[in-house]
Amino acid sequence: MLNNSFILLKTQAKQQKMKDKKAIEFSFAWLFAVIIGAVILVLAIYIATKMISTGETETGTATAKEIGTLLNPIETGFEEGKSSLISLTTNTRIYNKCTHLGDFGSQGIQTSQKSFGKWSNPGFEVSFQNKYIFSDNYEEGKEFYLFSKPFDFPFKISDLIYLTSSQKKYCFSNPPEEIKKELTELKQGNLLVNNCSSANIIKVCFGSEANCNINVKYNSGFIQKNSTILYFATDALMYAAIFADKEIYECQAKRLMKRASELSSIYEKKAVLFEERDCSSDLDIGTFRLLLDNYRDSSYLGTLSSKADEIKEDNDMALCKLW
Amino acid sequence: MRIKKFNMDNYAKVRKAQFKIQQMAFMLIAVVLFFALVGIFALAFRLSEIKDTANLLEEKNAMLLVSRLANSPEFTCGEAFGGKRTNCIDFDKIIILKTEIPEYKNFWGVSNIEIRKIIGINNEVLCSLTNYPDCNVIKLIENSSSGYDYSNFVSLCWKERNDETGDVYDKCEIAKLIVRYKEKI
């Protein structure tokens, strides 16, 4: 009896002491439930964050693949050029990746989207071996223009695609008549001709003018941009040099020359096939292919261009045309 | 030396606590199992959604590619048969391309590319450099035996020599260009 009273007193004293400390008494079951509840909550938040990030990556990858797929119909047949517009629902960055390794190199596309004012991590890179996109490292916006033009050197190598954001305006000052005609007929919203007074435009000059962002030496076959020189052959590569970043331009040009080399090998064998049918074409494609195989950078384009013109003339004169 | 006295009250309390811990452990297992099952279902659903999107994009790519493939440099007639022709495949070029195909295996991003003449020879005769142009099927890329096909009608042209006169003339036949994509399982 005395013992029980003692325990009761001790418990009351303890409770009073806890009250004084303003503490709350927890049973083991409560403590356990709180800890487990917290663990489950933390896990749920972690999984939800991961799922959002995976969802963003998935959307980015799917958008990149979709953009690549949509590039198929804009490839030209016998048209000189084609322009179309891609509209996306959210602000998007399209990253242009290029590698020249392998038989044909590859064109990579990555996208990232803006959500809650922050750019998401880019999705996985989607690669295409048969596409050549010329743009800056990345283009940003909701609307993008795709301008495609065939690259004949001297036979058709591929269609070149120039990707620009609608936010970026280019103004061509004093271009040659054929360029002016082409750009006017194209009616692409962000490409202006001879009206270069407004602010925030990229001024592309063909004459010797001041305050130009890009200077095109059309007859000499090179452009000057941010203190770098990019060489070109044909109008298709001139546009490519204007719209693309230096590294992307050089990489894509290398890929194009690889494809040109493969195609010249096909035409070389086709010439042999024609000889068997007594329909000779007498084209020096072998030398052209050797020059293509030795291509290093755009400074080689001048030599290649002269040889391409030569074999084009021979093909035009041939009884059995190779292309 | 202190000897702890056996107390019936304490024993009951310990038993009760043990029972509560057991109850909590079972509850925990049930909760973990429940979340794991929900997670598995959610993951399976998401994966099937991703797979569907991937297949849809592959299908779209094949569909759009088949309409433009005949105009790509490796296939197109260009001006070799007089004038500019669209949707025209140069048979001479294709038969050579067949020998260069290892380089082009993944070039167009589809699993199969095939050209079939529509009229002429009844039986399936596969084309090679030896029997060309007396054949009717050219299998350019063959990566998969199953999948979904998309096709487009094209003209298949080549240069033929008249043995009597020795003249070389252009010959064209109607053919079907078939592109196949493999479904992701």
Residues of A in contact with B67 (CB under 8 A): 72-73
Within 10 angstroms of residue A153's Cβ, the number of other Cβ atoms is 27
User: What would the mean pLDDT of A37-60 be, rounded to a whole number?
Assistant: 88
CB atoms within 10 A of CB A49: 10
Tell me how close the Cα of B118 comes to any Cα of chain A, in angstroms. Answer: 24
Are the beta carbons of B92 and A270 separated by less than 8 Å? yes
Q: How far apart are CA A231 and CA A223, in angstroms?
A: 6
Could A40 and B31 be called an inter-chain contact, meaning their C-beta atoms sit closer than 8 Å? yes
Chain A residues with CB-CB distance to B53 below 8 A: 58, 62
Per-residue pLDDT tens over the stretch A175-199: 999 999 999 999 999 999 988 888 8
| Best of A28, A57, A103 to mutate (most B CBs within 10 Å, chain B) | A103
**Contact (Cβ atoms closer than 8 angstroms) between residue B172 and residue B165:** no
Cβ distance of A129 and B84 shorter than 8 Å: no
CB contact under 8 A, B80 and A322: yes
Q: And the tokens for B27?
A: 């509850």
Question: Does A269 sit within 8 Å of B68, measured CB to CB?
Answer: no
Beta carbons of B161 and B167 less than 8 angstroms apart? yes
Contact between chains at B86 and A130 (C-beta distance less than 8 A): no
Query: What digits encode the pLDDT tens for the residues A69-86?
Result: 888 887 766 677 889 999
Predicted structure pTM score: 0.85
Cβ neighbours of B86 in A, within 8 Å: 77-78
Chains A and B form CB pairs within 8 A to the count of 109
Closest CA to A157 of A2, A267, A300: A267
Contacts of A43 in chain B (CB under 8 A): 35
Q: Does residue B2 lie within any of the structural domains?
A: no
User: Given pLDDT bands bounded at 50, 70 and 90, which one contains residue A40?
Assistant: confident
Mutate one of B106, B108, B128 to test the A interface: name it (highest A CB count within 10 A).
B106
- Residue for token pair 């007498």: A282
State whether A266 and B74 contact (CB < 8 Å): yes
Work out the average pLDDT over B113-125.
85
Q: Is residue B183 domain-resident?
A: yes
Q: Cβ contact (<8 Å) for A279 and B79?
A: no
On whether the CB atoms of residues A141 and A92 are closer than 8 A, the answer is: yes
More confident call, A77 vs B68: B68
Per-chain mean pLDDT for chain B: 87
What does the pLDDT average to over B112-119? 92
Residue A211 in tokens: 């305050």
User: Could you give the ipTM of this predicted complex?
Assistant: 0.81
Where are the alpha helices (H) located in chain A, listed in sequence order? 2-20, 28-70, 177-186, 234-243, 246-276, 285-293, 301-317
| Nearest beta carbon to residue B92 from set A77, A263, A273 | A273
Mean pLDDT of B28-36: 88
Per-residue pLDDT tens over the stretch A50-63: 888 888 888 888 88
Has residue B44 been placed in a domain? yes
- Which residues of chain B have a CB within 8 Å of the CB of A322? 80
Task: Give the Cα separation of B73 and B112 in Å (integer).
Answer: 18
**From B61, B73, B166, residue closest to A156, measured CB to CB:** B73
B41, B45, B75, B107: which to substitute to probe chain A, counting the most A Cβ within 10 Å? B107
Q: What percent of chain B has pLDDT over 70?
A: 96
**Cβ-Cβ contacts under 8 Å, B92 against chain A:** 270, 273-274
Query: In chain A, which residues have their Cβ closer than 8 Å to the Cβ of B97?
Result: 266
Residue of B50, B64, B73 lying closest to A58 (CB–CB): B50
pLDDT digits (tens, 9 = 90+) for A225-281: 988 999 999 999 999 999 999 999 999 999 999 999 999 999 999 999 998 888 887
Chain B residues lying within 8 Å of A321, measured CB to CB: 78-80
Closest residue of chain B to A64, computed from CA coordinates: B57
CA angle B156, B159, B163 (to 5 degrees): 130
Question: Which domain covers residue B175, as residue numbers?
Answer: 7-185
Average pLDDT estimate for B75-94: 91
**Run of H or E residues at B155:** strand B148-161
Specify the long-range contacts of residues A43-51, CB closer than 8 Å, at least 24 apart: A43/B35, A47/B39
**Interface contact flag, A157 B73, Cβ < 8 Å:** yes
> Cβ separation of A129 and B107 shorter than 8 Å?
yes
Contacts of B95 in chain A (CB under 8 A): 273
Element (H, E) at A110: strand A106-115
In chain B, how many domains are there? Answer: 1
Assess whether pLDDT exceeds 70 at residue A18.
Answer: no
What Å distances lie between residue B146 and A148, B180, B181, B183, B184, CA to CA?
A: 34, 8, 8, 8, 11
Cβ separation A129–B109 shorter than 8 A: yes
Within a domain: residue B1? no
